[in-house]
A and B are shown apart, each in its own frame.
Chain A
Amino acid sequence: MNTISTGPNSSSSPSDELQLKLCQLFDGELSSSEADALHAALAHDPEAKVFDDYMQSSQGLFSKRTAAVPVPSMDEALLSIHRAIREDAAAGSEPSGKTTNTKPAGKKIAFPLGFAIAAAAAIAALMAIAFLPKGGPTEMADDQFFAVNTAGAITTEANESIVESIETDIPNAIISVFDSPEEEMIPVIWISEMPADLEGVEL
């Protein structure tokens, strides 16, 4: 993947901290009383000054780029949205029988059942770990390893097949796949509970 590295720096210098503050100031996230102190510090930090200059000079470029993006006509957009709504209703994804002329009523969340299945799998995996012979070789496959964290979410090191099985078990879960910080490890999958206001939204 051809991306710019945006990972956190392992060590932050005083200049980094100043630049972070400048970033917050630029975004209006700092009070004006802090602004004076930052501007005073800026005079003694050439690197931070360059960063501040970059932020000032690039201001508006993002908006110009966005404004240049052609947007489909509103008629086309409305047509496609209503077509999708009708197709969805026709497909019977709404047990309530809602059509485009009825009140939108989301289906009841299926998360607790799916989560229970995943939790059961996690517990089974943990028990398997507990009964492994101590000191013996751990021949457990990567996709069999689960760990339940204290927040109630599940992390797992897994391959693509496990992602698909999780999607089947927990259709409403938000599944995020992160590249492992260690190259030799396979990606880490994070399953978090559906936010309350998005419950039932198929993502």
Chain B
Amino acid sequence: MDTTEVKQWITDAKKGDELAFDSLVREYYDRIYRLAQNIVKNEEDAKEVAQQAWLKIWKKLDTFKGQSAFYTWAYRITSFTAMDLLRKRKRKAEVQYLDELEAEQTPDIRFNRGEAPRPDKAFRNAEIREAFNAALDKLSETHRTALYLREVDGLSYEEIADVMDCAKGTVMSRIFNARKAMQEYLKDFR
């Protein structure tokens, strides 16, 4: 749960204290931004989502009851905002365009699998990271988000369920299926 300091910032921000609100932003902006970036997959959209999420947090802070940690509440707003942006983009068929563009720009990792192994370990590690990133980007937003919240933020299944507004069993299933898909994609790469 939130520290005493964070609780005080929340209390003060609810009263309209901008400095206290700024303290919350300073404390959590990076995590909010990175979650947004993980979902929308590009810098400009991530900035927009983060900004909109913080605007919503400011406007709705008085509804935050402290029953969950502030960051899970903030994450929830962020993930909904990001998903909503993607949904609107999909409607405009922009995502399809981006995917096509991305497919053109991203080298096909599988194409390189048959090549002779490079002796340079650093290069090999970079190659693995690249493959890992490419595989992650191929997961659906919901699977990637569930995995992100677990692996990066260390949230429990229950907290992730709270953030993603779904059942704990759904979280478990999403994380498992995401890992299986990642393993499948990377199995020939090892």
A123 to B172 Cα, complex, angstroms? 36
| Contact present for B176 and A2 (CB under 8 Å) | no
Contacting residue for B16 out of A62, A70, A104, A175, CB 8 A:
A104
| Contact present for A65 and B63 (CB under 8 Å) | no
Q: Is B89 an interface residue (CB 8 A)?
A: no
Query: Which of chain A's residues has its CB closest to B142's CB?
Result: A6
A2 to B152 Cα, complex, angstroms? 24
- Residues of chain B contacted by A94 (CB below 8 angstroms): 59
- Residues of chain B contacted by A105 (CB below 8 angstroms): 62
Query: Which of chain A's residues has its CB closest to B15's CB?
Result: A103
Contacting residue for B50 out of A50, A77, A202, CB 8 A:
A77
Given known contacts A6-B139, A62-B152, A71-B34, is B54 in contact with A160 (CB within 8 Å)?
no
Please indicate which of the listed interface residues A3, A94, A163 has the most CB atoms of chain B within 10 Å of its own CB: A3
Interface size on B, residues (CB 8 A): 79
Instruction: Tell me the smallest distance from the CB of A170 to a CB of chain B, in Å.
Output: 14
- Residues of chain B contacted by A24 (CB below 8 angstroms): 157, 172
A29 to B166 Cα, complex, angstroms? 17
Q: Is B132 an interface residue (CB 8 A)?
A: yes
A84 to B179 Cα, complex, angstroms? 38
| Contact present for B62 and A71 (CB under 8 Å) | no
- Residues of chain B contacted by A177 (CB below 8 angstroms): 87, 90
Can you list, as one digit per residue, whether each of B47-82 has a CB less than 8 Å from chain A (1) or not (0)? 100111011101111111101000001001100110
| Contact present for B59 and A106 (CB under 8 Å) | yes
Can you list, as one digit per residue, whether each of A3-17 has a CB less than 8 Å from chain B (1) or not (0)? 111111000000000
Question: Which residues of B168-184 are within 8 A (CB) of A?
Answer: 172-184
Instruction: Tell me the smallest distance from the CB of A19 to a CB of chain B, in Å.
Output: 7
Contacting residue for A6 out of B22, B63, B76, B181, CB 8 A:
B181
Q: Is A198 an interface residue (CB 8 A)?
A: yes
Can you list, as one digit per residue, whether each of A110-149 has a CB less than 8 Å from chain B (1) or not (0)? 0000000000000000000000000000000000000000
Given known contacts A4-B185, A20-B176, A23-B176, is B33 in contact with A77 (CB within 8 Å)?
yes
| Contact present for B65 and A23 (CB under 8 Å) | no
| Contact present for B47 and A2 (CB under 8 Å) | no
A75 to B62 Cα, complex, angstroms? 25
- Residues of chain B contacted by A66 (CB below 8 angstroms): 34, 38, 148, 152
- Residues of chain A contacted by B39 (CB below 8 angstroms): none
| Contact present for B52 and A19 (CB under 8 Å) | no
Query: Which of chain B's residues has its CB closest to A106's CB?
Result: B60
Q: Is B2 an interface residue (CB 8 A)?
A: no
Question: Which residues of B85-107 are within 8 A (CB) of A?
Answer: 87, 90-91, 95-96, 99, 103
| Contact present for A71 and B55 (CB under 8 Å) | no
Instruction: Tell me the smallest distance from the CB of A98 to a CB of chain B, in Å.
Output: 8
Instruction: Tell me the smallest distance from the CB of B71 to a CB of chain A, in Å.
Output: 14
A interface with B by C-beta (< 8 Å): 1-8, 19-20, 23-24, 27-29, 50-51, 54-55, 57-59, 61-66, 69-72, 74, 77-78, 80-82, 84-85, 88, 94, 100-106, 160, 163, 174-177, 192, 195, 197-203
13 contacts between A and B (CB under 8 A): A4-B139, A7-B177, A8-B173, A24-B157, A27-B150, A55-B179, A61-B132, A65-B132, A77-B51, A100-B18, A176-B87, A177-B90, A197-B64
